[in-house]
Amino acid sequence: SYTTDTKSREENKKTIESLYSLSVDIKKIRRLKEWVLLQDVAYVKEIAGILQEMGADETAVAHILERCPEAILHSPAEINSQRALWQLVCQNEKQLIKLIEQFPESFFTTKYQQNQKANIMFFQELGLKNNIITRFLTSAPNIFYNPVEKNKNVIETLQRSYLNLGGSEANMKIWILKLLSQNPFILLNTSTAIQENLEFLQKNDFTDHEVLQLLSKLKGFIFQLSSTTMQKSMLFSKNVFKCSDQELKRLVLKCPALLYYSVSVLEERLEGLLKEGISVAQIRETPMVLELTTQIVQYRIKKLSALGYDIKSGSLESLNGTKKDFEVTYGKIQSKKERPIFNPVAPLHIED
């Protein structure tokens, strides 16, 4: 709604002066979003006042306006409405101003206030805790821009699918809430896309129970894929591991990344492992290693090699898992290596 034609316009002197008086780095704004400084109407002092009222000090106000200068183009009425809206899920203004400091762009998107409000109410009714909803507002704000009916539709499709796949009514709410809190972006999909992906898995002989298992393991990311990309990834794995459909299914259940990652990603990770002298047979035995980037794999192999652990002849299990998991494994291998074969000071039990 703002003009971005910068050639014929001049900077608004009043805006510049007001920002300057707040110790805002104007050079930064000129570099990133100069168009903001060209607008005829800006509410610099008013917006700064509202932020200060909420508890922001001078440094915080300057930081917020440098990061999101378009904040000054919103009227005080719009910002106060947004403030009331976010207070529905924030414990207090102290928490609210902290969120605005970290995620100013999310807070100052006021275009969809009615949708935002309706969605906040819907998520609360669904049983999502306020701290999860605030996380959504900051990290996945666009799910609030949808009309609430669209989000309801997606949730209903998920609930129906869960029951059709043999999930129990008693566990459905927990399942949905867990899925949403792990991946709120599910709501950006259409009900049709969700349906198509589930049908694709069923056509590929995954039982209802296995499909449910995959949904939980993939944290709903499966809905962001298309049947074409899943088909290509499965075909790639089938050719690489030279396995039957049934064996491939077992591998996918063991490592859903084979379904989720594109062929180019799988290819790059496979090549990285082969370069390290790891065989296809080893990877087939522990496919979860493909969930790790090539850099992580190289780093872990290097650390284990320094302990004298030969990955080519050992199991790839020691490479797997999160950073924390790997550190535990590494620690065990290290202490095993450092332990002496016999303790020279231990008493010898000699029979008479």
Tell me which residue of 260, 315, 312, 256 sits closest to 288, measured CA to CA: 256
Q: Residue 203 in contact with residue 231, Cβ under 8 Å? A: no
pLDDT for the residue 347:
53
pLDDT for the residue 351:
47
pLDDT for the residue 130:
95
Q: Which two tokens stand for residue 121?
A: 């109410």
Q: Which residue has the tokens 């790839």?
A: 316
Instruction: Spell out the residues 6+ positions from residue 22 whose beta carbon is closer than 8 angstroms to its own.
Output: 44, 48, 58, 61, 62, 65
Q: How far is residue 60's CA from residue 50's CA, in Å, rounded to a whole number?
A: 12
pLDDT for the residue 7:
47
Q: How far is residue 65's CA from residue 53's CA, in Å, rounded to a whole number?
A: 15
Kindly report, residue by residue over 191-227, the tens digit of the pLDDT: 888 889 899 999 998 999 999 888 888 887 888 888 8
Give the number of other CB atoms < 10 A from CB of residue 192. Answer: 9
Q: Which two tokens stand for residue 211?
A: 């499909």
pTM for the model stands at 0.78
Low-confidence stretches of the chain (pLDDT beneath 50): 1, 6-8, 348, 350-352
pLDDT for the residue 332:
86
Q: Which two tokens stand for residue 58?
A: 């001078």
Q: Residue 89 in contact with residue 48, Cβ under 8 Å? A: no
Instruction: Compute the Cα dihedral for 12, 14, 17, 20 and give only its sign.
Output: negative
What DSSP state is assigned to residue 184? G
Q: How far is residue 176's CA from residue 155's CA, in Å, rounded to a whole number?
A: 8
